Structure 1
C-alpha cells in the first residue's frame, strides 16, 4: 500500500514530509552522540540544551502559527523549512555550550513553527471532510521517512567518526531545502482576512475551551517519549527480555503507523467519532501500560512476548489518539486562524518532548508497577475527559453541522 495520497496538493505535502523526515530520522538517532562525542558536551549539558530548545519551541509555536495566518501558510512554511535547514547547519559550527543552547532554541522554534504552518497549509488546500485522512497519509509518510533515516543514522553510528556525523547533518539540511522547494510548487494560499475590531492578535490564547482540549491532548501525547525513552530503559533495567527487543518494539511501532494509520483514521468523520476514538485510545493506552508492568515476570522469551503484546496495544492507541486529535484540532479552529490554533494545539508535542523524559522515567523506573498504572490512569482520564471538553468547545463556536451534531449526541 502506498503511503502517498492522491495526486495534487496532498501528494506534494506528503512528499515534502517524507523527504525531510528521512533527514530527521538520521539526525534523531545520531545527534546526542555527536553533541557529546564530537562537540564535547556532557550528557547533562546536552539534555539541558535540548530541554531549553523545546521550551523555546513551545513559546514560538503560536506566534509563528499566527505569522502563517497573516502572511499566508505557503510562504511561511517555505521560509520556516529553510530556517530549519539553516538551524541544523548551525550545529556543525558550534563549539561551546552557550552556542549549542542558542542553536537548539532556534532549531526547535523553527521545527514547531513549521509544523503549525504545514497544518495551516493543509487546512487551506484540503476540504474539511478530507483533512483527517490526508493528515493520516502525511503521518504514514513521516514514519516511513523516519525509518529510512534511522537506518542511515545507524550507518553513521557504526562508523562513529566526525565526517560520518557531519554527513548526517548534511542529509538533514538537504531534506529541508528539498521540502521547501516542493512546498513552493503548491497553489497560492492568500493571507487570512484582517482581524475584526476588538479581536485579539492571538485569539487562541483566550480560548479556554480549546486550551483545555489541547491540554488533554498533551497528556495523551506522553506516549511519544514513552515508546522512545521510558520503554527502552524499562526493558534494559527491569526485564529479562533480550536486547533486540528494544529495536523490535520501535520497528513494530513505526511499521504499524506506516501500514495502518490511514485505516484507523477512516473511522473518524466528525467531532463525535473523534471524541469516541480518543476515549478508546485512553483505554488501549491504559491496557498497554498494565501489560508493560507485567513484563518483569518470566524468562527472556516470555518477557519479549509480553512486551510485544504491550507495544501492539500502545501502537493502536497511538494511532487512534492521533486520528481523533487531528479531527478535533481542525474542526474547532476558526477559518483563517488555523496557523495560531494549530500552533497552540501542536505545542503539546514540544512540551511532551520537554517534560516527558523526566516525568516518565520517574514514574516508570522509580514507581515500577504502580508508576505504570498511574501513567495508564492519566491516559484513561484524559481520554474520557476529551468528549466533555470537545462539547464545551463546540458550544462556544458557531453551530456548523458537525458541531451541532456533537451537542445533540453528547452522550453517545
Structure 2
C-alpha cells in the first residue's frame, strides 16, 4: 500500500498541471475503449476485411503524421488552449460518426480525420504544457501525464472488454459513445485553463513552417523515431512471437502488456526524476538504448530450445527491461523535444517531433514482424544494436543542434506568463 507521500508523487500539483492531467485522463479513457473495440467492430460487425482495415489505418496514420506541423502552427498562432479544445471536440465528432458508418469510403474518411485531429491535439497539448508550466517542471509533468495516460487507457480497455464480451452492435456503439464523451470531457476540462498568449506577433517574417527547414532538429527527431520502434513490440510482435514459438503461453502476451501499463503508471514519474536539461536528457536516452539492447537480447534468447517455464521467465525479464528503457527514453526525449524548440514555435516543433509516433505505428509492424519473426535471435540482436546506436547517437545530434544560436531552451518561466505589454 503506497504511503501518502508516495501517492502524492503520482498526482501532479494543484493548478494547471492537475487540470492537464484530468483532461488527459478523460481522453485516455475514451482512447482505451476505442483501441480495444474498433478493429473487431469494423471487421465483425460492419463486415470489413482485415486487409482493408489495415490499409485504411496505415493511410490514416501516414496522413496524421503530416498534420502535426500545420495544426501545431495553428496552436502557436491562435493559442494552444483554444486549438486543443476545438481539436478535442472535433475528435469526439469523428468518433461519433462511427456510430452510423456502414461502408468503406466513409470509414476511410473518418479514420483519416481521427488520426489528423489526434496528431494536432497532441501538438496543441504539448504547446499548452510549454506555455503554462516552467521549464524546470515540464519533464516531471509529462511523466505524470504519461502515467495518467496509461491509467486511463487501462480503464477504457476494461470498458471495451465489456463490449467485446457482449459482442453485439449495441455494445460496440456504447464503447464508441464512451470514447466520444471522453474527448468532450477532456475539451471541457481544458477550458478551465488560462489561455496561453498567441505567438503570432512574435513569429517575425521567417518561414511559416520553420521546423520543416530545420535540418538539425530533423536529425534529432529521426534518432528519436528509431527508438520509438519499440512501440509495436508488446502490442503486436510479442503476441505473434509467443504464438509462433511458445503457443502454450498465449495468455502471456496480454499479461506482459498489462505489466508494461502498470509499470509506467507506477514508475514513470520516478524514472523522469533528474532529467532537467539537455545533458541529463541525453544521458537518459543513452541508458535507454542500453536497456533496450538488453531487452532485445533476452527476448531473442526465448527462441532457444529451453523448457517452457524458462521461456516464460525470459519473456517477463525482457518485458521488464523494455519498460525500464521505455521510461528513460520517454523522459529524455520530452526534455530534448522542448529544449531544442524555439519558444514561439512550440506547437509546430512538437507536432514535428510527434510524427515519430505515427511513423513507428505505420512502419514498425511491417519492419519488425519481418525482422524478428523471420530472423529469430539474430533479428532481435540486430534490433537491439539499432536501439543502442540510436541511444548513443542522440548526444552528438543534440550537441550539433544546440550549437545553432537559434536554439534556446524555452526559458525558465512558461511562455504563457506574459508581461503587461504582451498580454492580449
- The bucket for the TM-score relative to the shorter chain is over 0.9
Structure 1 residues 402 and 190, CA gap change in structure 2 (3 angstroms)? closer
2:270 matches 1:276: no
2:56 matches 1:40: no
Determine helix, strand or coil for the equivalent of 1:5.
Answer: coil
Structure 1 residues 214 and 241, CA gap change in structure 2 (3 angstroms)? farther
- Which whole-Å CA distance do the structure 1 matches of 2:364 and 2:273 have between them? 29
In the alignment, which residue of structure 1 is the partner of 2:174?
167
- Which whole-Å CA distance do the structure 2 matches of 1:352 and 1:84 have between them? 22
Residue among 34, 42, 58 paired with 1:27: 34
Residue among 332, 342, 358 paired with 1:334: 342
In the TM superposition, what are the counterparts of 1:177-188 in structure 2 within 5 Å? 177-188=184-195
In the alignment, which residue of structure 2 is the partner of 1:408?
none
In the alignment, which residue of structure 2 is the partner of 1:376?
384
Deviates more, 1:130-139 or 1:86-95: 86-95
2:151 matches 1:128: no
Equivalent residues of 1:195, 1:201 under 8 A apart: no
- How far residue 38 of structure 1 moved from its aligned partner, in angstroms, is 1.0
In the alignment, which residue of structure 2 is the partner of 1:308?
316
Structure 1 residues 342 and 381, CA gap change in structure 2 (3 angstroms)? same
In the alignment, which residue of structure 1 is the partner of 2:415?
none
Determine helix, strand or coil for the equivalent of 1:103.
Answer: helix
2:13 matches 1:6: yes
In the TM superposition, what are the counterparts of 1:385-400 in structure 2 within 5 Å? 385-398=393-406
Residue among 317, 321, 334 paired with 2:325: 317
- How far residue 190 of structure 1 moved from its aligned partner, in angstroms, is 1.5
Equivalent residues of 2:135, 2:410 under 8 A apart: no
In the alignment, which residue of structure 2 is the partner of 1:287?
294
Deviates more, 1:67-76 or 1:187-196: 187-196
- Which whole-Å CA distance do the structure 1 matches of 2:148 and 2:405 have between them? 33
2:344 matches 1:349: no
Residue deviations 1:311-342, cap 9 Å, x none?
Answer: 00000000000000000011111011000000
- Which whole-Å CA distance do the structure 2 matches of 1:295 and 1:399 have between them? 45
2:157 matches 1:157: no
Equivalent residues of 1:77, 1:180 under 8 A apart: yes
Equivalent residues of 1:65, 1:343 under 8 A apart: yes
Determine helix, strand or coil for the equivalent of 1:374.
Answer: helix
Equivalent residues of 1:240, 1:296 under 8 A apart: no
- Which whole-Å CA distance do the structure 1 matches of 2:397 and 2:354 have between them? 17
- Which whole-Å CA distance do the structure 2 matches of 1:182 and 1:401 have between them? 29
- Which whole-Å CA distance do the structure 2 matches of 1:397 and 1:288 have between them? 38
In the alignment, which residue of structure 2 is the partner of 1:409?
none
Deviates more, 1:114-123 or 1:1-10: 1-10
- Which whole-Å CA distance do the structure 1 matches of 2:70 and 2:409 have between them? 30
- How far residue 400 of structure 1 moved from its aligned partner, in angstroms, is 5.3
Equivalent residues of 1:30, 1:165 under 8 A apart: yes
In the alignment, which residue of structure 2 is the partner of 1:81?
88
- Which whole-Å CA distance do the structure 1 matches of 2:311 and 2:164 have between them? 28
In the alignment, which residue of structure 1 is the partner of 2:418?
none
Equivalent residues of 1:240, 1:300 under 8 A apart: no
- How far residue 240 of structure 1 moved from its aligned partner, in angstroms, is 5.3
Determine helix, strand or coil for the equivalent of 1:34.
Answer: helix
Equivalent residues of 1:240, 1:299 under 8 A apart: no
- Which whole-Å CA distance do the structure 1 matches of 2:185 and 2:409 have between them? 39
2:114 matches 1:107: yes
In the alignment, which residue of structure 2 is the partner of 1:358?
366
Equivalent residues of 1:332, 1:393 under 8 A apart: yes
- How far residue 296 of structure 1 moved from its aligned partner, in angstroms, is 2.3
Deviates more, 1:391-400 or 1:108-117: 391-400
Equivalent residues of 2:289, 2:387 under 8 A apart: yes
- How far residue 196 of structure 1 moved from its aligned partner, in angstroms, is 5.0
- How far residue 402 of structure 1 moved from its aligned partner, in angstroms, is 10
Equivalent residues of 1:73, 1:339 under 8 A apart: yes
- Which whole-Å CA distance do the structure 2 matches of 1:30 and 1:301 have between them? 32
Residue deviations 1:194-244, cap 9 Å, x none?
Answer: 365540000000111100000111110111111110111111111255222
Equivalent residues of 2:101, 2:107 under 8 A apart: yes
Structure 1 residues 400 and 329, CA gap change in structure 2 (3 angstroms)? closer
TM-score, scaled relative to structure 2: 0.93
Equivalent residues of 2:341, 2:410 under 8 A apart: no
- How far residue 248 of structure 1 moved from its aligned partner, in angstroms, is 1.2
